[in-house]
Chain A
Amino acid sequence: MSYTIETIGLTHYYSKGTVQQVAAINDVNLKIEKGELVGIIGHTGSGKSTLISHFNGLLKPDSGKVLVDGVDIWKDKETLKKSRFKVGLCFQYPEYQLFEETVYKDIAFGPKNMKLSEAEIKERVMRAAAFTGVKAEHLGKSPFDLSGGEKRRVAIAGVMSMEPEVLIFDEPAAGLDPRGRNALINLIKDYRKQTGSTVIIVSHSMEDIAEMADRVIVMNNSSVAMQGSVDEVYSRGDELRAMGLNVPEITEIFAKLRAKGLDVPQNVYTVEQGAAILRKLLERGSAK
């Protein structure tokens, strides 16, 4: 069986050939299945951004391989170019990459580079704009006239319009207020539900990952430290803390409630989960 993305012994050095040579990622072996929503967590400098820059060939591995749909993306130039369109990468603060005169043109930049027909480009831009909630009346405006949140939507639409098989987000919620964050998380979940594409989220927010991911990969010291379901990974709180990560606040609160003798489960990772459990508990209490 071939995976959507597979890495074999992937290694990348920074400042290669000098005394300061360090492995940014070291012998990473990963398999990402079609349609999965994978969260990659790790503290700053753990190599997660370097890792995802290999998935669409922005960085060339110093050793090891990256396979997309079973094909080595560095096989030849053509394959490399195709992998850029197969694997869409939405960087942190994507709003800083906007450049066109109009929002429409900016969203169309990716599809245009794919050399699609005018009609196809228009269809894709409209689809991506509608999906990300970019208002139709904004399409003719300059992207620089929009607000921060709107800019980010436009930038995400610019990546989504390429309709990649795999969509990668690097810290998608960075710098957003809680409402913006929730909207974005719902957007990503909806996108995945509607298109069935593979989605990879890179974040250091344990809450965000818990809310979205089917599977979690933990990066530490340039390599994969743990992987598994949210439950499997988040139950190893002490190990996570040793890696400079933390279990979500709500999990801590529930641990304290347990310590006080309340009968609550251990595996609570999102506020919604927690709220539901507490509500049930309260109803039971008042019924008595």
Chain B
Amino acid sequence: MIRDITIGQYYPGKSVLHSLDPRVKLIVTFWLIVVIFLCKSFFSLGLIALTAVAAAALSRVPAKMILKSLKPIVIILIFTAILNIFYTQGGETYFSWWKIEITEKGVNTAIFTMIRIVSLVVISSLLTYTTTPTMLTDALERILSPLKVFKIKVHTLAMMMTLALRFIPTLIEEIDRIMNAQKARGADLETGGLVERAKALVPIFIPLMVSAFRRAYELAFAMTCRCYTGGEGRTRMKQMKIALRDIIAIIFCAAITAGVIVLNHFFDAVI
């Protein structure tokens, strides 16, 4: 059922990761993702993987939830692993048959890329597990606010994002309602070829658009009535403040980066 789609996978909690400043979290996440791609040897990548596991433990998000976030990428993982095994050649040959050769380098590259992708997904999903979508957009607004110099309306963009996120569940409910109403009039949504199915979406899509515009107008009125005039002179109810733990997080990140560079230097590169 359409209702089962979850967007924004915030897992409520009070861990250190939850209480970090969202700006710091956002920056640290991007930082670590860049560092993942700097890794060249198993040792430096191991350090990152260890960091990801430690962060996951620190977040107190159940391991089951984290594994769930890995589920959608299983196919990608298998696919890249297979490609790497067969297309990267070099080193000792483990297995050879007809034109297929599996070599040491191939296996190593496959394992390396798999660990890399898994760490990437774990780290980025930890960000969304421990930060609400609203906090994220707020943080994004603050981080991007220097762009105001170039006349980019950062506040407006952030507000649009917040509202879009807010209305996703509402619109999903609306789709559900419209689908039921059209099904009750005998609309056939399940059978037929591609063209027929696309056509069958029209009775759902049009009322959805109409209601989305209606809601947008209503919301705009409601915001105007409450004197919303955009970002100019607007203050926040929840001020973001950098605390000691945020500074520690940044120092920690810098240490990992240094560690990765050092380990890259001393051990053989896999890729």
Question: Are A and B a genuine interacting pair, yes or no?
Answer: yes
> Hey, which bits of chain A sit against chain B, CB under 8 A?
53, 56, 58, 81, 84-85, 88-91, 94, 96-99, 109-110, 113-114, 144, 158-159, 162
Q: A84-B186, A85-B186, A110-B186 are in contact. Are A144 and B210 (CB under 8 A)?
A: yes
* 6 A-B residue pairings within 8 Å (CB atoms): A53-B180, A84-B186, A97-B182, A109-B186, A113-B188, A114-B186
Q: B197-215 interface mask toward A, CB cutoff 8 Å, 1 = contact, 0 = none? A: 0000011101100110000
Q: Does the CB pair A91–B177 fall under 8 Å? A: yes
Which residues of chain B from 153 to 201 have a CB within 8 Å of any chain A CB? 177-178, 180-188
Q: Does the CB pair B207–A97 fall under 8 Å? A: yes
Interface size on B, residues (CB 8 A): 18
Considering the chains assembled together, what is the distance between the CA atoms of A89 and B184 in angstroms? 6
Q: Does the CB pair A88–B207 fall under 8 Å? A: no
Number of A-B contacts (CB under 8 A): 55
Q: Does the CB pair B185–A158 fall under 8 Å? A: yes
Considering the chains assembled together, what is the distance between the CA atoms of A88 and B182 in angstroms? 11
Kindly list chain B residues whose C-beta atoms are within 8 Å of the C-beta of A158. Answer: 185
Q: Does the CB pair A99–B186 fall under 8 Å? A: no
Q: Does the CB pair A84–B184 fall under 8 Å? A: yes
Which of B184, B202, B206, B211 contacts A91, CB < 8 Å? Answer: B184
Which of A56, A81, A89, A97 has the most C-beta atoms of chain B within 10 angstroms of its own C-beta?
Answer: A97
Kindly list chain A residues whose C-beta atoms are within 8 Å of the C-beta of B186. Answer: 81, 84-85, 109-110, 113-114, 162
Which of A53, A96, A110, A144 contacts B185, CB < 8 Å? Answer: A110
Q: Does the CB pair A159–B184 fall under 8 Å? A: yes
Shortest B214–chain A CB gap in Å is 9
Considering the chains assembled together, what is the distance between the CA atoms of A273 and B177 in angstroms? 37
Q: A84-B186, A85-B186, A162-B186 are in contact. Are A99 and B181 (CB under 8 A)?
A: no
Kindly list chain A residues whose C-beta atoms are within 8 Å of the C-beta of B206. Answer: 99
Shortest A111–chain B CB gap in Å is 9
Shortest B16–chain A CB gap in Å is 27
Kindly list chain A residues whose C-beta atoms are within 8 Å of the C-beta of B188. Answer: 113
Q: B43-55 interface mask toward A, CB cutoff 8 Å, 1 = contact, 0 = none? A: 0000000000000
Q: A97-B178, A99-B202 are in contact. Are A58 and B207 (CB under 8 A)?
A: no
Q: Does the CB pair A96–B178 fall under 8 Å? A: yes
Q: Does the CB pair B180–A109 fall under 8 Å? A: no
Q: Does the CB pair B184–A109 fall under 8 Å? A: no
Considering the chains assembled together, what is the distance between the CA atoms of A2 and B151 in angstroms? 73
Considering the chains assembled together, what is the distance between the CA atoms of A26 and B1 in angstroms? 21
Chain A, Cβ-Cβ closest to B186: A113
Q: Does the CB pair A113–B178 fall under 8 Å? A: no
Considering the chains assembled together, what is the distance between the CA atoms of A112 and B178 in angstroms? 18
Considering the chains assembled together, what is the distance between the CA atoms of A118 and B188 in angstroms? 19
Q: Does the CB pair B181–A94 fall under 8 Å? A: yes
Q: A97-B178, A99-B202 are in contact. Are A88 and B210 (CB under 8 A)?
A: no
Q: A96-B178, A99-B202, A113-B188 are in contact. Are A58 and B183 (CB under 8 A)?
A: yes
Shortest A89–chain B CB gap in Å is 4
Q: Does the CB pair A99–B180 fall under 8 Å? A: no
Considering the chains assembled together, what is the distance between the CA atoms of A109 and B188 in angstroms? 11
Q: Does the CB pair A58–B184 fall under 8 Å? A: yes
Considering the chains assembled together, what is the distance between the CA atoms of A97 and B184 in angstroms? 11
Shortest A16–chain B CB gap in Å is 10
Which of B185, B204, B210 contacts A113, CB < 8 Å? Answer: B185
Considering the chains assembled together, what is the distance between the CA atoms of A97 and B207 in angstroms? 6
Q: A58-B180, A91-B180 are in contact. Are A109 and B185 (CB under 8 A)?
A: yes
Kindly list chain A residues whose C-beta atoms are within 8 Å of the C-beta of B204. Answer: 99
Chain B, Cβ-Cβ closest to A155: B181
Q: B230-247 interface mask toward A, CB cutoff 8 Å, 1 = contact, 0 = none? A: 000000000000000000
